[in-house]
Structure 1
């Protein structure tokens, strides 16, 4: 593959402005991620320490293989929700390596609202289950939860039961779940270990029952203590709900690692061999390359060359459809096809992207979509040129592509461009976002401008005087709301992505995600819908 050369001059004002602007956004990201790592008030943490308990993230650290990576997912879920449990909810989730095997890990934050499940935590768990199934990952649950947050029960009850279904369906497919119970697992939460393939209960600490002593007293008038009702020793020796009785937390984690050693997983589809070339350019430069303001264009090739192995990129159709960049490369030794935007999508770009997706499917190569587009080009000339049918071809190809895909939001994602570039509704295996990202039907200014044009036309048709002051105020309000709800922070809070990442971590993030994709067989498709010619 050819090495691609940079055209960036780091001494230009644009580069310096981009770097400064992106640094501010990255600092904001770090603040939000710090908030997501909050594990409860000091008094709750102190109480846990007095009881000899580890915190949720400490349990994950002990579970993982030493010095191995951990890809945390959806850390900003629920960030903007009033009345919720805060950034990230009450569950820490991500993919790591345990006993040499890729695993999905879920750890309840028992020191934050007792590990109870609020609205966004429930939907975060649902997305984690999707990722687990799609990538056929064994999962390990580190359980300490008070169950559903009762004020949210009307919103999550009907959906919450799907998590139990998901565990059993994965089990039927030979994708095991291990649950280690360190504390309460009450009511519906009792079914998490109950439906797992392997259940480990901590002695004197695990309390697993469908109804606690007070509810049992109310329902049956039976008086019983929580240990005899649902303690670890009872479940290990009498009910059989527990498979292993752990002496303490460390022993429970040891047992989980031991079980993972015995679990059979498919051999990876591909393991990179030989020396992996680093990019020729410093990843720090990404902050100066990628525009902090999505209104300012930049060349996606400048990002690609700072992410891929040896800055080598075999570009496909470089002279045709120049607003879309397509080509083949490797990231951490894994072959991949990249589709990236350089702005608006014209008919030529859509046709080029469609053909490229077909080629990747023919050759069983995964795809990475790098989104930075204002959408499909509009206007009389472009409608006559078939922008609808050509745009539809790209959406058709994305919809029916069978090779796994990762989507990275590196700038704007407006209109149907989001669909043609494999947005959330097209089920990419992973979707990550840069902190400069904007998403919506259109930009805030365009949205306000369209509203003004429509209302002016309406007033004229009705013979009414147009209220300029009222319109100015309405435009400001609409733009402010559209701007806030199109941000990366809102997007991640609403689980439209799997995490906002520091652009400098792009290579590592994509490399880890590709390792997950390549852990299973990759097979493309010869079958697509009817392409309107």
Structure 2
């Protein structure tokens, strides 16, 4: 960090002849706090508060809709085949009561016009399995048969990048129809190398179009083409034979448990200190009017521990506030 000492008017920073009281203040290690008490009864605050509540409710409603995955017809078809829904698979894979930190839930939202791709057709995140934190990647077959859109590829690769950066094991719950053919020109490999890590289903839709028969004249069932028997007995791709979804998830948990994977963490665990101001006040401070200014320091004061913020470059570049936060 580059420091340049100045003597602004009215500053407590003087010279070596400064008195002891000011000197002690100047050399104190205590981090300053930011924030002030807003006028919660003002018309602007009340307007902001009401408008932001509407926006947050809309955001939560959209998130809940995304969690459903594909449409009702697609979900019913999925469950009629004896399959668990993707988020049910995650719940049964994770250690009971443990959290799941989901990535990029709004990936693909309104990206393809009227074509809905909830969560980008794939669910990714960090969860605890058999006591081990893992990256979990789950195809959602209720969204276009689990096929890969360009955004699906980006989201999948992003999860792998996070796994690599944090040295986390990966668990893939694969239920995919491969590349989304209408958008295959944007899906197939570029320099990021989209790997063939998904299980190619034999049929593209609920109509059961026999793809192999159409291409070669042969009649081959979905199981013969890519089922458990084929990959356990002939191709050798798989290590275990699962009878159903629940059995497969049990085997996945067992596999993670057998890794004997322990991540060495050199961290200091401290009890977090609550901000000095309630987070609820953010509704009234920010609002939805983009033409109305607000002090970003008031936002910082309501999200950091103890509202402690050590700002630097305070007199340079007024459009950007930078600093460090502390426990």
Task: Work out whether the TM-score is over 0.5.
Answer: yes
The CA deviation string for residues 189-228 of structure 1, in whole angstroms up to 9 with x for no partner, is xxxxxxxxxxxxxxxxxxxxxxx97427844x65543334
1:78 and 1:84 in contact (8 A); partners too? no
Higher relative contact order structure (alpha carbons within 8 Å, sequence separation ≥ 6): 2
Distance (Å, rounded) in 2 between the aligned partners of 1:32 and 1:160: 34
2:201 and 2:222 in contact (8 A); partners too? no
**Corresponding residue for residue 253 of structure 2:** 257
2:188 and 2:194 in contact (8 A); partners too? no
The CA deviation string for residues 146-184 of structure 1, in whole angstroms up to 9 with x for no partner, is 11121111222244982318x7xxxxxxxxxxx8xxxx5
Distance (Å, rounded) in 2 between the aligned partners of 1:63 and 1:163: 26
The CA deviation string for residues 472-513 of structure 1, in whole angstroms up to 9 with x for no partner, is xxxxxxxxxxxxxxxxxxxxxxxxxxxxxxxxxxxxxxxxxx
Of Structure 1 and Structure 2, the greater strand share is in 1
2:35 and 2:297 in contact (8 A); partners too? no
Secondary structure of the 1:157 match is coil
Deviation at 1:23, TM superposition (A): 1.7
Cα 1:51–1:12 shift into 2, 3 Å: same
1:44 aligns to 2:40 (yes or no): no
How do 1:9-20 and structure 2 match up within 5 A?
9-20=39-50
How do 1:124-143 and structure 2 match up within 5 A?
124-143=155-174
Deviation at 1:79, TM superposition (A): 2.1
Which of 263, 268, 284 lines up with 2:265 in the alignment?
268
The CA deviation string for residues 446-467 of structure 1, in whole angstroms up to 9 with x for no partner, is xxxxxxxxxxxxxxxxxxxxxx
1:95 and 1:105 in contact (8 A); partners too? yes
Deviation at 1:144, TM superposition (A): 0.8
Deviation at 1:279, TM superposition (A): 1.8
Cα 1:124–1:155 shift into 2, 3 Å: same
Secondary structure of the 2:137 match is strand
The CA deviation string for residues 232-267 of structure 1, in whole angstroms up to 9 with x for no partner, is 133223321111122321222122222223433542
> For structure 2, which runs of at least 5 residues remain unmatched after alignment?
1-30, 203-208
1:76 aligns to 2:106 (yes or no): yes
Deviation at 1:91, TM superposition (A): 1.2
> For structure 1, which runs of at least 5 residues remain unmatched after alignment?
168-178, 188-211, 334-533
Cα 1:18–1:101 shift into 2, 3 Å: farther
Deviation at 1:269, TM superposition (A): 4.1
Deviation at 1:307, TM superposition (A): 1.0
Which of 128, 146, 150 lines up with 1:115 in the alignment?
146
1:4 aligns to 2:4 (yes or no): no
Secondary structure of the 2:292 match is coil
Secondary structure of the 2:38 match is coil
Secondary structure of the 1:92 match is strand
**Corresponding residue for residue 62 of structure 2:** 32
Which of 161, 180, 196 lines up with 1:149 in the alignment?
180
* Number of residue-to-residue matches in the alignment: 289
1:108 and 1:143 in contact (8 A); partners too? yes
**Corresponding residue for residue 429 of structure 1:** none
How much is the aligned-residue C-alpha RMSD, in angstroms?
3.0
**Corresponding residue for residue 91 of structure 2:** 61
Secondary structure of the 1:277 match is coil
**Corresponding residue for residue 117 of structure 2:** 86
Distance (Å, rounded) in 1 between the aligned partners of 2:279 and 2:221: 58
**Corresponding residue for residue 328 of structure 1:** 324
1:185 aligns to 2:200 (yes or no): yes
Higher mean displacement: 120-129 or 251-260: 120-129
Distance (Å, rounded) in 1 between the aligned partners of 2:291 and 2:225: 62
Tell me the TM-score normalized by structure 1.
Answer: 0.49
Question: Where does structure 1 differ by over 6 angstroms across 4 or more consecutive aligned residues?
Answer: none
Secondary structure of the 1:144 match is coil
Distance (Å, rounded) in 2 between the aligned partners of 1:147 and 1:109: 12
How do 1:513-532 and structure 2 match up within 5 A?
none
How do 1:50-449 and structure 2 match up within 5 A?
50-80=80-110, 81-82=112-113, 84-159=115-190, 162-164=193-195, 185-186=200-201, 214-215=211-212, 218-219=215-216, 223-263=219-259, 264=261, 266-270=263-267, 272-316=268-312, 318=314, 323-330=319-326
Distance (Å, rounded) in 2 between the aligned partners of 1:7 and 1:102: 40
Deviation at 1:46, TM superposition (A): 2.6
